[in-house]
Amino acid sequence: MEAGLRSYGRAGAPVQSRRVFLGGAAALATGLGLRPAWAARRLKLLCLGDSLTAGYLLPAGQGFAPALERALRGRGLDVETIDAGVSGDTATAGLERLDWALGEGADAAIVELGANDMFRGLDPALTEKALDAILTRLKERNVRPILAGMRASPALGADFVARFDAIYPALAAKHGVPLYPFFLEGVAGDPALNLKDGIHPTRAGVEKIVAGVLPLVEKTLREIAG
């Protein structure tokens, strides 16, 4: 496109006229709510997760993915989030549907999985293997991963907690990807920010999660946008 414009400037209309034309067209498109064909493309952010991503029992549009999209747009980023949160999913289930969730692709992906593995007492080695495969596949498809960590309940015992909690920093270091250490930071254990089950965030809880993860996600997307 740029080469074509330069050629047109040499062979036809003066450069100044071309700039006036493009500027006027952009202003018209903006006024009509349209995107000019030469405008920067919209970024796509996959949110791959379980019920914490899906917005369990929350009204439509109040879950993590749409709330994050609104926050990012409020920071001036043209982003579309892909809500791939499925209640009850383990890390292995997330891996099995990853290609379907990606569809034609994305620029970045937040991986929020492992809580159900923990609650079911699954071997942390299985969780780590699945998350490792997810991060590998995302990178193979040129999707920038952001890993959201989870923490094990102390009720599962010190050995399990140590093995489970170590998964996320180890994988982030192995793959060289950004890590948000605990997805429920500032929300877990607060009755005012959780539903009656004490596990799933309320709308206010979701907003708290979004506020926490926003700087890391914004930084990643701006790096991609250049």
Q: Which domain holds residue 11?
A: 2-31
167 and 60 share a domain? Answer: yes
Q: What is the mean predicted confidence (pLDDT) over 205-212?
A: 98
pTM: 0.83
- Give how many domains the chain has, as a whole number: 2
Do 71 and 23 sit in the same domain of this protein?
Answer: no
Q: What share of the chain is helix, strand, coil (3-state, %, to 5)?
A: 55, 10, 35
51 flagged as catalytic: yes
> Do residues 17 and 90 both lie within one domain?
no
pLDDT tops 60 at residue 23? no
Q: Is residue 66 part of a domain?
A: yes
pLDDT tens digits along 174-192: 999 999 999 999 999 999 9
Q: What confidence score (pLDDT) does residue 41 get? A: 82
- d(C-alpha 195, C-alpha 178), whole Å: 29
**Is 197 labeled as catalytic in the residue annotation?**
yes
Q: Are 87 and 110 part of one and the same domain?
A: yes
Q: Does 32 have pLDDT greater than 70?
A: no
Query: Which listed residue (51, 83, 117, 165) is catalytic?
Result: 51
Q: Do 15 and 58 share a structural domain?
A: no
Instruction: Looking at the structure, tell me whether residues 60 and 150 fall in a common domain.
Output: yes
DSSP notation for 55-107: TTTPPTT-SHHHHHHHHHHHTT--EEEEEEE-TT--HHHHHHTHHHHHTT--S
Measured CA to CA, the distance from residue 196 to residue 198 in angstroms comes to: 5
Q: Are residues 94 and 202 in the same domain?
A: yes
Q: In what order do the strands lie in the sheet with 43-49?
A: 79-85, 43-49, 108-112, 144-148, 179-180
Q: Is 13's pLDDT higher than 80? A: no
52 and 113 belong to one structural domain: yes
Whether residue 14 is found in the same domain as residue 108: no
155/203 same-domain check:
yes
Based on the domain organization, do 77 and 25 belong to the same domain? Answer: no
Asked if 87 is an active-site residue, the reply is: no
Residue 15 has pLDDT above 60, yes or no: no
In a shared domain, residues 134 and 191: yes
Q: For residue range 98-131, what is the model confidence (pLDDT) as tens digits?
A: 999 999 999 999 999 999 999 999 999 999 999 9
Strand partners, 194: 201
Q: What is the pLDDT of residues 53-101, one digit of tens each?
A: 999 999 999 999 999 999 999 999 999 999 999 999 999 999 999 999 9
Q: Percent of the chain scored above 70 by pLDDT?
A: 83
